[in-house]
């Protein structure tokens, strides 16, 4: 089970399949990365590298009592992108991922991103 330990010691579980342009899938409350398996299989078969993660406090990532903020989630995403050395990333998210992506852009910019897609996204 691949995990990334981020700066505050939280462990973030992720799936990383395939090769090609990366697509990162981010889930909403109270789900996990597994919600994206069908989409990951489809896009992986189309030649994309597909990545999904359990955000902090969910699924196989650390079950933190506190620190579950948009800022920390955005920083976790930035550290995952850096750890995997990704460029031209397409972010695909649902629900609370919209707020995470908006916070990511304000804190980390767009230099590693190609596009952002949200469905039912909420903003902070």
What's phi and psi for 68, nearest 5 deg? -85, 75
- Binned at pLDDT 50, 70 and 90, residue 29 comes out as confident
Q: What is the pTM of this model?
A: 0.95
- Binned at pLDDT 50, 70 and 90, residue 6 comes out as very high
Chain centroid, CA 96 distance in Å: 11
- Please give the pLDDT value at position 26: 97
Q: Could you give all domains of the chain from N- to C-terminal order, each with its CATH number?
A: 3-119 (3.40.50.1820)
The pLDDT of residue 122 is above 80 = no
Q: What is the DSSP letter of 54?
A: P
Structure tokens that stand for 60 in this block: 């196989």
Structure tokens that stand for 13 in this block: 């579980």
Report CA-CA distances (Å) from 120 to 27, 66, 92, 110. 11, 25, 11, 21
Structure tokens that stand for 8 in this block: 């505050």
Average pLDDT over residues 39-62: 97
Rounded distance, CA 104 to CA 72, Å?
Answer: 9
């Amino acid at each position: 089970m691949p995990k990334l330990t981020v700066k505050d010691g939280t462990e973030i579980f992720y799936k990383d399949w395939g090769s090609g342009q990366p697509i990162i899938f981010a889930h909403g409350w109270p789900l996990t990365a597994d919600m994206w398996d069908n989409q990951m299989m489809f896009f992986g078969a189309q030649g994309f590298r597909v990545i999904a993660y359990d955000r902090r406090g969910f699924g196989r990532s650390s079950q933190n009592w506190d620190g579950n903020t948009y800022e920390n989630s955005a920083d976790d995403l930035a550290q995952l992108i850096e750890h995997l050395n990704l460029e031209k990333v397409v972010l695909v998210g649902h629900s609370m991922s919209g707020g995470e992506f908006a916070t990511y852009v304000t804190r980390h910019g767009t230099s590693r991103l190609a596009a952002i897609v949200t469905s039912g996204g909420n903003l902070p």
